[in-house]
Structure 1
Amino acid sequence: MKPLRILVVEDNAVIGMLLSLTLKAMGHEVCAVETTEDGAVATALRCSPDLLIVDMTLGHGSGASAVATILQTRHIPHILMSGAPVQADGQRRVVLRKPFVEAELAQAIERAVRASTGA
């Protein structure tokens, strides 16, 4: 898989930093780590990421709402992260359950990119 520009949206500073370091070690570029819904939307417009990795529940706003807003401007493959079980809502989306290991992260990235191309 080619290296991707990834926007991480995670309000827990330690998780955001560890995820960023893991992604960089996997060969990807992290264009930013945002902690709020508004910050995620603004940064997605500014840095044009190839992939979003977004915590569903943020201290200020909603990760799911941020993704919905971003997708109104252009389609970007995305992964939603959650520490809680996620109910199926009929949408085809990639959800990564926290805590996860690098292999699960790599699989989620592949699924998100593949789903965005319709493969």
Structure 2
Amino acid sequence: MALRILIVEDDFMIGIHLAEMLEGMGYEVCSVEATEADAVAAAERCRPDLMIVDAWLRDGSGIAAVATICRSRPVPHVFVSGDAASVRAVLPAAIVVEKPFREDVLARVIQRMVDDMAAPRDRGPD
């Protein structure tokens, strides 16, 4: 089954290009949203396996949308931004891909996240 990805991107052309790129990689894009509120609603509706999120939206914040979504259910996510340093200043541990990005860079980041999701978790002593 293909990984279901929610895209949060307020630039229409970038959102469409990103969706086509991800579908070309074999992933299922469950929704492309442009606002914080729509992203939160889509995450509830679509239950994505992964989110690719523009950190700074014209209507709301991708960072705030991720925080809201992950309060109810942790969802792995990658931020995309033209200003990765600003995202890391707010969220030092964030995974950020700098815009403009190449397809191979995004593919490697997604694959690393997929590998992390599939890795057995250390449950500690039983």
TM-score by length of 2: 0.85
Shift of 1:103: 0.6
Partner of 1:64: 63
Matching residue's letter, 1:107: R
Three-state SS of the structure 1 residue aligned to 2:107 is helix
Which structure 2 segments of 5+ residues have no match? Answer: 121-126
Number of equivalenced pairs: 118
Three-state SS of the structure 2 residue aligned to 1:93 is coil
Alpha-carbon RMSD? 1.9
Work out the CA distance in 2 between the residues paired with 1:45 and 1:107: 27
Q: Which digits, 9 at most, give the CA deviation of each residue in 1:44-93, with x for residues without a partner?
A: 00000000000000010000000000000111110001011324356432
Work out the CA distance in 2 between the residues paired with 1:46 and 1:15: 23
Shift of 1:112: 2.9
Work out the CA distance in 2 between the residues paired with 1:108 and 1:86: 17
Work out the CA distance in 1 between the residues paired with 2:62 and 2:117: 19
Partner of 1:92: 93
Matching residue's letter, 1:108: V
Partner of 2:104: 103
2:24 paired with 1:25: yes
Q: Which digits, 9 at most, give the CA deviation of each residue in 1:3-52, with x for residues without a partner?
A: 31000000000000000000000000000000000000000000000000
Shift of 1:114: 4.0
Work out the CA distance in 2 between the residues paired with 1:20 and 1:85: 21
Which protein has the bigger helix share? 2
CA contact (8 A) 1:95 1:108 kept: no
Higher Cα radius of gyration:
2
Work out the CA distance in 2 between the residues paired with 1:44 and 1:9: 10
Which structure 1 segments of 5+ residues have no match? Answer: none
Equivalences for residues 28-43 of structure 1 within 5 A: 28-43=27-42
% identical aligned pairs? 47
Work out the CA distance in 2 between the residues paired with 1:49 and 1:14: 22
Matching residue's letter, 1:100: F
Shift of 1:115: 4.5
Three-state SS of the structure 2 residue aligned to 1:6 is strand
